[in-house]
Amino acid sequence: MWQGLIHKYAEFLPINERTPKLTLHEGNTPLLPIPAISQDLGIEGYVKFEGANPTGSFKDRGMVMAMAKAIEEGSEAVICASTGNTSAAAAAFAARAGIRCIVVIPDGKIAEGKLAQAVMYGAEIFAIKGNFDDALRMVRKIAETEPVTLVNSVNPYRIEGQKTAAFEVVDALGSAPDILSIPVGNAGNITAYWKGFKEYHERFQSGLPKMMGFEASGSAAIVRNQVIEDPETLATAIRIGNPASWDKALQARDESKGLIDEVTDEEIVEAYQLLAQKEGIFAEPASCASLAGMIKKVKDGSIPQGSKVVHVLTGNGLKDPNTAIETSPVKPARIENDYEVFASA
Ligand SMILES: Cc1ncc(COP(=O)(O)O)c(/C=C/C(=O)C(=O)O)c1O
């Protein structure tokens, strides 16, 4: 039976006999081929569906590690800033571990499904009149003086947990793909994947992919090489204007001879709908920046035909039902007997 990441990849993780074997059975997520889209793009495409994690995003990987180490070190409370998924995962694993969870979120800019999770798992939630970057500054300051453990991806244990996704990709394919395409917000995940691929390659000579990261155009700090003061994108999970792991993202890009580019909200929505309607895979908007970016790079001719590409789909589409309905082409067709008939436009 799958016993979670700390058990499965123990030899690669900073654990010892005192580290609690915390798990909600995170990890071991599907690596699904996407045959229809691959045919259109002329690639051998896959998606790493991280929406299948216990709280519906890749954050569970990092959070189980950060929470287990916090418990080991005697912590009684954790704190994080979040655009939603970090807080959902922190709240779930804190509940599992029996400690307090304090989250600071940008008021009104968090997808409903994520807020529902933080509420239900019992987090103490503070919504601020500001954005994620303001919230992160706030919680980093609090964690300097108060007896709480910061569990944002500046916490190295988060990166340790999240690198296991790269291990799973190589375990599933037998070697590293040519390209790993991934959305970029705070840039912890691109950092983690690259660390994982390098560690596996050192041990098993499994190869190294080109890392291709994609920011939303309205919050493309790394692409524009400047902090975006008021980031704006429909993909609220990556509505981050000052990535905390900016330098490490550049290192992953340069060491892997990859790239970091941007995609517009329109390109994200197109990929979002394509995945659902052509492959039966529902991932939240930010996740689809990985596919939107690949479509863009195929169009500009920079992806060799037949490239083996893994797209990281970082969160489940159910997290953000409002965006699905607001962007859907399916509208009420007519009213019959007091109910609406919905049909494709
Ligand atoms: C679905 C989804 N896709 C991509 C990202 C970007 O990952 P990073 O580049 O490692 O930040 C996030 C990040 C979310 C938060 O930062 C948070 O939840 O506070 C996400 O939820």
Dump pLDDT digits (tens) for 222-268.
999 999 999 999 999 999 999 999 999 999 999 999 999 999 999 99
**Taking the model in full, what pTM does it have?**
0.96
- Residue of 82, 101, 262, 314 to mutate, ligand 1, most atoms within 8 A of C-beta: 314
Residue 66 in this model has a pLDDT that exceeds 80: yes
pLDDT at 272: 98
pLDDT at 2: 80
* Ligand 1 pocket, residue 191 CB under 6 Å: no
- The rounded Å distance from CA 339 to ligand 1 centre is 38
Count of residues for the chain? Answer: 345
272-305 confidence digits (pLDDT tens): 999 999 999 999 999 999 999 999 999 999 999 9
- The rounded Å distance from CA 341 to ligand 1 centre is 36
Atom of ligand 1 nearest to the CA of 188: 10
Confidence of residue 328 (pLDDT cuts 50, 70, 90): confident
- The rounded Å distance from CA 51 to ligand 1 centre is 12
Please give the C-alpha separations between residue 194 and each of 164, 208, 294, in angstroms, as whole numbers. Answer: 10, 8, 18
DSSP 8-state symbol, 78: E
Q: What's the whole-number average pLDDT of the chain? A: 96
Confidence of residue 344 (pLDDT cuts 50, 70, 90): low
pLDDT at 332: 67
* Ligand 1 pocket, residue 315 CB under 6 Å: yes
* Ligand 1 pocket, residue 314 CB under 6 Å: yes
Residue 343 in this model has a pLDDT that exceeds 70: no
Question: How crowded is residue 326: how many other Cβ atoms within 10 Å of its Cβ?
Answer: 10
DSSP 3-state of 244: coil
- The rounded Å distance from CA 342 to ligand 1 centre is 33
- What are phi and psi for residue 312, nearest 5 degrees? -85, 115
Exposure class string for 96-123: b at 16+ Cβ within 10 A, else e: bbebebbbbbbeebbbebbbebbeebeb
DSSP 158-192: HHHHHTHHHHHHHHHHSS--SEEEEE-SSSHHHHH
ipTM score? 0.99
Report the C-alpha gap between 95 and 87 in whole angstroms: 12
